[in-house]
Structure 1
């Protein structure tokens, strides 16, 4: 059984991190937790998924980089005092200064108006790359170089999605044979500017001149993006008889299928060593109910169709088996919680041998920060001793959805408490 070993590892990690991460220490003291003896002991120590963007937005908007660095330090293991923020012009330069000082900080997209800042060590990056190499293609094939990569996104920038692109290039790619949708760097400042304008439009405070300029910019970007996407799809189809690795969203894959039909290309007309990684949310997209089946039918039965469950804050992804279930790697502690994220679900909560609740986890890999998180996802865990694929242990059903997609309040009980910790820490 892995559970006793996981608890032992969790206690060892907790004993070290509580002395290194101020927010974790504060949370443990308030919850009265001084030792991890059961998985329930972990629940009060999990951070809400919003914690990595819990800084006051004014720090970001007004360029108060010293204060933003102080906030970041409350969540980081490494000493960030060697970061020089003198003369920083914008958030992209702020992140570059962190990297120059040896701190591998990654951001999320910031489409909501605030980005998450995730502190990694260089060791974290190496471990994540190794883990993904041996997990992402399990149990279908071993990764190896030599494929042309078609990546339907940017390949440059200090962003978590870009990091995954680079990792896949290292694990699968042929030298000089990566094709990305956007060769420009993904700049946080540009995404944040767009999100801020969307907010001004929603609030009705944008001026006519601002609206006209914004709409013109969006139209120009839209035209360029459509042209770049069409060119990438045609090149992919031109090279379909070579071994490829294709990574994109589901909607983009339906566009590939539709373009192939226009060109008279038959379904399944791809090199058998091609690997498909279609992923991403579909919120707000008008896709058919069977969009996955349509994509898989287009590529045919011979090529590997890989899938993982994970998120930006999780280093150890959960690979999908032949039965369509996600399996938990040994170094990840998966916890199913009640909707508020305050209680670990147990035997009494099972329905037909399954638990449905909010996903929480402790990722034991991270050196740079505490890997405990309460997510915004609802999932169902089959508690059977054996998966339908024949492997032992509980498995996660392929029915994961965000609470916001389900029309359910995404309120997490500890989120307000942690925000209070942050405000108090910044005022000291």
Structure 2
């Protein structure tokens, strides 16, 4: 158990490797970590991560060499090394069209540590007929890695290489709250999960189900999915490409096989039937899990649709009051209907709705919303505010608005620095009225693309030449 006498170095080691143990498995202690201690651990953790990964992740080494960065003295020293989100989708799109998965693996290997990269390069992907085959093959070939992808609204998917231990640490923190833990001997509840989507898939939030079951639930039988099948990445990617081509007026240039079109038609029919299917699913869950303690994590609109469907059937206070209902992401430009939170609580019967600000690329920590509406920064993630035009760091004092960037201290097989498309405001100094000592996000979270009429050109904080050299290196496939 950590003690007050432990050094910052000892505590930092726990923050990086076993953050739940750092707070002796207490959800209250997690929220009450002293601000000065967190700041000291974060700097120490960043320094350790950079020292360990600088020479070992090829694209990071290329960027750090070009920028002349050998070590980290203060948090802002890492800003030129934060990756734009486009890094994770910088591979030539033609590689997917040609099913050149061996080339995709060469690209991916430059984003991870050598032991993971070697296993990625050694994977036999020659028989993969599409993305679903590739993901399944890579899971078996590199058991310490889980590659996930984003929704690909631009028509191009981002591939995110996360270590298995990253996911485990994330859910070990979530377990503190879902189980209401006050120490290592807290008895586990007979928790169930009702999940309003697919049991399995490679889309980032579906990817996490494997670890939710492993860490939060007694066994697989306690996980109830609306669709017990696998969500097809091939279909998601095709849909994204069609939408992007339609928006550009180039739909007639898309070459899609009849087999894929037939699968797409089936997939679309399933999506059209989703509202009725989900209504039936939650009616079944309300009956099957009535009075039981459940964990439900979903986007706010899925939660609200669930609640509306239940309330229209006369269902209220369905689950145990200690159930944990969680939603991530915020509205981000969408006007949320009045009273949606109250609807969710009335239907589920849970005492509270737990909202967080998080993103697929930074799985090491969610920023929890307090009763005053502020998102408190997680100790496992270093937050930055950058100038929206230059990506240079803004002051870490006062109340400041800028582009959000984060360093995920939980990342150990990849580099955790990431620049987002979000505009946020952070209160660096003034304590929150809720009593938590952490710094926090205030006011709305908005995408720069929404502010700028659909356009958001993220600028890397590195010099233009350094960034271009790193991107050229990442996308060179000789050898």
- What TM-score comes out, normalization by structure 1 length? 0.86
Deviations 1:196-234 (A, max 9, x none): 222333324338998997995465223432332121121
2:49 matched residue in structure 1: 13
Alpha-carbon contact 2:131-2:233 (below 8 Å) kept: yes
Is the CA contact (8 Å cut-off) linking 2:321 and 2:349 kept in structure 1? no
Q: Is the 8 A contact 1:197 1:206 kept in 2?
A: no
Distance 1:16 1:423, change over 3 A: same
Match of 1:51 in 2: 87
Report the secondary structure of 2:295's partner residue: strand
Quote how far apart the aligned CAs of 1:138 are.
Answer: 7.6
Uncovered stretches (5+) of structure 2, i.e. residues with no partner: 1-35
Query: How far did residue 20 of structure 1 move?
Result: 0.9
The 1:420/1:60 distance shift into structure 2, 3 A limit, reads farther
Q: Distance in 2 between matches of 1:337 and 1:129?
A: 29
Look up the match of 1:243: 293
Q: How many Å separate the matches in 1 of 2:423 and 2:177?
A: 23
Displacement of 1:96 in angstroms is 2.4
Question: Is the 1:23–1:75 Cα contact (8 Å) retained in structure 2?
Answer: yes
Q: Distance in 2 between matches of 1:36 and 1:208?
A: 47
Question: Cα gap change, 1:343/1:291 in structure 2, threshold over 3 Å: closer, same or farther?
Answer: farther
Distance 1:264 1:270, change over 3 A: same
Any residues of structure 2 matched to 1:5-404 within 5 Å, and which? Answer: 5-77=41-113, 78=116, 79=118, 80-102=120-142, 103-112=144-153, 113-134=155-176, 144-175=188-219, 176-202=221-247, 203-206=249-252, 217=266, 220-238=269-287, 239-266=289-316, 268=317, 270-280=319-329, 282=331, 287-288=336-337, 290=338, 292-296=340-344, 298-299=346-347, 303-314=351-362, 315-340=364-389, 342-346=391-395, 353-397=398-442, 399-404=444-449
Please give the alpha-carbon distance, in whole angstroms, between the structure 2 residues aligned to 1:284 and 1:330. 27
Tell me which moved more, 97-106 or 406-415: 406-415
Cα offsets for 1:127-185 (capped at 9, x unmatched): 33323323677899989441221111112123321233333333443541222122221
Structure 2 Cα separation of the partners of residues 181 and 334 of structure 1: 35
Change (3 A) 1:204 1:301: same
- Given the superposition, is the C-alpha separation of residues 136 and 73 from structure 1 closer, same or farther in structure 2, using an over 3 Å criterion? farther
Residues 335, 60 of structure 1: alpha-carbon distance in 2 compared, 3 angstrom cutoff? same
Q: Give how far 1:371 is off.
A: 0.4
CA 1:340/1:284 → structure 2, altered by over 3 Å: closer, same or farther? Answer: closer
Q: State which drifts further: 228-237 or 40-49.
A: 228-237
If the length of structure 2 is used for normalisation, what is the TM-score? 0.78
Cα deviation digits, residues 89-126 of structure 1 (max 9, x gap): 22222222222222423222444222222223333333
2:458 corresponds to 1:412: yes
Aligned equivalents of 1:225 and 1:367: distance in 2?
38
* Alpha-carbon distance in structure 2 between the residues aligned to 1:296 and 1:184: 26
- RMSD over aligned CA atoms reads 3.3
Change (3 A) 1:270 1:7: closer
> In 2, Cα distance between the equivalents of 1:106 and 1:363?
17
- Aligned equivalents of 1:21 and 1:53: distance in 2? 17
Question: Which residues of structure 1 form unaligned runs of 5+?
Answer: none
The farther-off stretch of 314-323 and 64-73 is 314-323
1:65-85 C-alpha deviation (Å, 9 max, x unpaired): 222111111111122332122
Q: How much has 1:375 moved relative to structure 2?
A: 0.9
Q: Which has the higher mean CA deviation after the structures are superposed, 276-285 or 202-211?
A: 202-211
Deviations 1:26-81 (A, max 9, x none): 21122222221122211101001221111111111111122211111111112233
Which of 12-21 and 299-308 deviates more?
Answer: 299-308
1:412 CA drift (Å): 1.3
